[in-house]
């Protein structure tokens, strides 16, 4: 079995066996500082919607619920712990205070609406809740922006998976090419994460 097909099969199996709850949990982690990309979760939930095993509305509902829960955990961590929280725990997940500083600047520059926009931006969406909390953003406003941004992003990714499922047989014709792309992507991501982490650690020591 090709690597791509193997990975997809296992991800779908995990989501299928865990049901809506696992989607909520994974998206809660995705909205915190855990390296769980929504792009690796929601499209495959869309596969299961296409197969009639999940409901589109419930997938988006539980995913958004998880996003809100995870975002509020980070929000209150930022409100009461701030940067020390990322400095203490972020390094275990290859996140640095530097990542938070960039996100803080982004938040200060564009204001509360950043919480909505950040849902569509990698890395930033993992961290944006912390500066929102540290900046004492109104919880009600934070909830609304998080709800709207997360619901839109989760719905888009679920729909992408739904559409791709119909074309999956055609896509699998190119599994050798996909395998090369997947392996290359994994190697590049790991190298970037580790290299960047070591570089920042060396800079701190210097």
Domain boundaries, the chain: 3-205
Instruction: Give 39's contacts (C-beta < 8 A, 6+ positions apart).
Output: 157
* Stronger pLDDT, 123 or 25, i.e. the higher one: 25
Question: Is residue 34's pLDDT more than 50?
Answer: yes
Write 76-82 long-range contacts (CB < 8 A, 24+). Answer: 76/133, 77/129, 77/130, 77/133, 78/129, 78/130, 78/131, 78/132, 78/133, 78/134, 79/133, 79/134, 79/136, 80/133, 82/130, 82/134
Closest to 78 measured CA to CA, from 67, 88, 86:
86
State the average pLDDT for the chain: 78
The proportion of the chain whose per-residue pLDDT surpasses 70, expressed as a percent, equals 67
Tell me the average pLDDT across 140-165. Answer: 92
What is the pLDDT, as a whole number, of residue 25? 92
Give the pLDDT confidence of 38-76 residue by residue, as tens digits. Answer: 887 888 889 889 989 899 999 999 999 999 999 999 888
Rounded CA separation 19/10 (Å): 14
Report field, pTM of the whole predicted structure over 0.85: no
The CB density around residue 128, as the number of other CB atoms within 10 Å, is 31
Give the pLDDT confidence of 80-122 residue by residue, as tens digits. Answer: 876 676 666 665 555 566 666 777 777 777 777 888 888 888 7
Q: Token pair for residue 163?
A: 């559409």
């Amino acid at each position: 079995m090709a690597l791509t097909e193997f990975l997809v099969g296992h991800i779908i199996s995990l989501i299928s066996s865990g049901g809506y709850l696992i989607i909520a949990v994974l998206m809660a982690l995705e909205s915190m500082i855990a390296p769980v990309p929504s792009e690796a979760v929601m499209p495959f939930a869309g596969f299961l919607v296409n197969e009639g095993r999940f409901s589109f509305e419930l997938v988006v509902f539980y995913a958004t619920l998880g996003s809100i829960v995870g975002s509020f955990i980070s929000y209150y961590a930022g409100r009461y712990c701030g940067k020390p929280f990322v400095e203490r725990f972020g390094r275990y997940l290859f996140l640095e205070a530097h990542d938070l500083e960039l996100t803080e600047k982004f938040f200060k520059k564009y204001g509360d609406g950043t919480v909505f926009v950040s849902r569509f931006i990698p890395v930033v969406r993992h961290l944006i809740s912390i500066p929102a909390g540290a900046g004492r953003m109104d919880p009600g406003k934070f909830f609304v922006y998080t709800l709207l941004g997360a619901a839109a992003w989760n719905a888009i990714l679920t729909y992408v998976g739904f559409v791709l499922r119909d074309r999956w047989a055609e896509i699998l014709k190119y599994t050798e090419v996909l395998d090369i792309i997947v392996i290359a992507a994994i190697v590049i991501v790991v190298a970037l994460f580790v290299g960047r982490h070591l570089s920042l650690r060396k800079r701190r020591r210097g």
